[in-house]
Amino acid sequence: MKPKTVFITGANGALGSYITGTFLKTGARVIGASLHISATEFPQANFEGVSLDFTRSELVSRTVADIAARHDGLDVVVHVLGGFAGGQSVAETTNATWEQMRDLNLTSAFFVLREVIPHLRRSPYGRFIAIGSLAATAPHANLGAYVVFKAALATLVQTVALENKDSHLTANIVLPDTMDTPANRKSMPDADFSTWLNPQDVADLVLWLADERAAHVNGAAIPIVGRHS
């Protein structure tokens, strides 16, 4: 991965930090973006932090163009950015919750994809990998807004895979089960954490999908669960 340029959204989140750290260890040039991020969070010389609101299309367009110009293109894009809200039935879901889930889980990915696809198509090994959710493979009561937009994200990524089969670009989505993160432990203190998924396992799968050896994997929605689930 050393000569490659990797762009990671949500780079300093609970899962994003694992993914960013994993790519940095390979020697790749990593541009990590989030709403608020600092270079001190990842002090390696091959890291560059970019603060970006992914719900604003003009900022996404300008930022991607700037990164590609400075680094002579993009090779790998990992879209980790997302958000979770639950506990409301469809009848109780507010406009604010619906719009938040739409913007964080779907619209942001659309804005990113629209800008990075031309650069990934020019790369001899373009890779787009998104993080979805295993929960979104089926309906769930009181998770309507979250599940709808995560499911739509998978369809969006698979559509990109179909539309770019004439190039070296592949597009895949990883569907993690519940991950062992501080936020999840806090929200579900009585759960059996031993059954939860290690975020590093997700990061390792993402890294493999970005490798040249995964060139034959395209349009896949890959579930990944805890070791004892």
Q: Is residue 172 part of a domain?
A: yes
pLDDT at 229 (0 to 100): 46
The secondary structure of 170-207 as a DSSP string is EEEEEEE-SB--HHHHHH-TTS-GGGSBPHHHHHHHHH
Sequence letter at residue 70: R
Q: Is residue 62 part of a domain?
A: yes
Which tens digit of pLDDT belongs to each residue from 192-208? 788 888 999 999 999 99
Kindly give the residue spans of alpha helices, DSSP state H, lying in the chain. 16-25, 57-70, 95-102, 108-122, 144-163, 182-187, 199-210
CATH of the domain at 173: 3.40.50.720
**Are the CB atoms for 34 and 9 separated by under 8 Å?**
yes
**Are the CB atoms for 87 and 34 separated by under 8 Å?**
no
Q: Is residue 229 part of a domain?
A: no
Q: Is residue 162 part of a domain?
A: yes
Q: Is residue 209 part of a domain?
A: yes
Q: Is residue 106 part of a domain?
A: yes
Tens place of pLDDT per residue across the chain (229 aa): 778 999 999 999 999 999 999 999 999 999 999 999 998 999 999 999 999 999 999 999 999 999 999 999 999 999 999 999 989 999 999 999 999 999 999 999 999 999 999 999 999 989 999 999 999 999 999 999 999 999 999 999 999 999 999 999 999 999 999 887 878 878 788 777 888 889 999 999 999 999 999 999 999 999 999 876 4
What is the value of pTM for the model shown? 0.94
Q: Is residue 38 part of a domain?
A: yes
pLDDT at 228 (0 to 100): 61
Domain that holds residue 100: 5-224
pLDDT at 192 (0 to 100): 79
Counted domains in the chain: 1
